[in-house]
Structure 1
Amino acid sequence: MTAGTTVLVADDHAAIRAGLRIMLESHGVRVVGEAADGDVAVRNAAALRPDVVLMDLRMPGRDGVSATREIVERELSDVLVLTSFDEDELVFGAIEAGAVGFLLKTVDAGTLVQAVLAVASGEGVLDPRVTRRALAAVARGAAVDPAEVPADQPALTSREQEVLDGILRGWSNAELARRLSISVPTVKTHVSNVLAKLGARSRSHAAALTQGRDV
């Protein structure tokens, strides 16, 4: 059901904001506000409390990474990042800031709407084209410091490891439930436990932290 889902679109290009609005609203998702820079994105997120903020990363003034961090820390909304192929460094920053989804700006309307609804329902979204490049660079040491993961972190159970493996593959809660033959609420519990044990702020952050580590 898309009618109750609300979105704030943050991008410094008016034409892109207009295009995203058309794509979303033509599929029943309500765009409640727009922002052309990070400061406005934070203010509007606080005022409007959308289910999802679609966040551009490269904006004049305050960038999308800084805005994402404040929005997540203040629990104003979940953040779904729209990125280009040349923004690896900013993607890493957004992972650390707590963004729960990443899509390329070339995304089609159907994929965009599905991603927004998934994020609004508490799931993460990782475009494979973004994930593969980002995690490869993380494994080379380009982003998250391995020291972020405590040396004495609690060990994952076998089921939690299966859930983490699914997260690394970009599986949604529903797909994890189907593949592991467990309920979606049980999946959500396992995901929460995995994030807590890894000290991760989001699925994407957990994926980054575990690259190249013996978890």
Structure 2
Amino acid sequence: MSLPLIEALALLLERTYDTSRSVRPVARFVVGDEGHRRLTERRVVRESVDGAAARLLLRRLRGDGGRWAAALYLPDAIVARLERYDPRRGLGEANIDEFFALVEEVDHLVTFADRAGRPGGEVSLLELEWHAAVSQYLVGAHFLARLAGRSELDAEQRAFLEHHLFDKRDYEAVPEPVRSRYRKADRLARGFLHDLYRRRPADRLCRLRRFHHAGHHEKLRTFAS
């Protein structure tokens, strides 16, 4: 029996980055429109990592050794779209935006949980956005290649992913300083990916894991281009 899409994505990310802890089953974190409304009305959310309508909601637990409570908000419309147009059967104009939104938030959860479990494991918002953009492209490439029955994407498929992930986003409606952070994260992710794909396939996984485990300043020193 195949895993639900959200669990399959978390498993793929955890295996790719060799995380030290698992967030699965992810379903225990998910809230829809009604759950999100209740959380925000009660003002129990202290921090959020925004995506395209979806978002990761975080609250530090008092007196619990720096532990966090998390909720992954997926709007009902995104869930319905992905159920109607399952990315495992096809990835295209009908579902790419919703798919990227889902991957982004699952990646935020996986990355935050892995970092929070380490001593001094702070993670910056820029790191989370940069990391998520890298994962969105790679997971999109994985799905497209598997659907096409090949190991590498052709030029048209790469252009499709880059257009929807980077080119069509202008963030003009996003206030500063968030807009500048989003644009910087996209630029860093695009540069990292171009460098990654110039390397031998055998070397890519090792570099991805180094990228994941690096802290904010090490990422900028080693992986910014």
Higher RCO structure, 1 or 2 (CA under 8 Å, sep 6+): 2
Higher-strand-fraction structure = 1
Q: Same fold (TM over 0.5)?
A: no
TM-score by length of 1: 0.33
TM-score by length of 2: 0.32
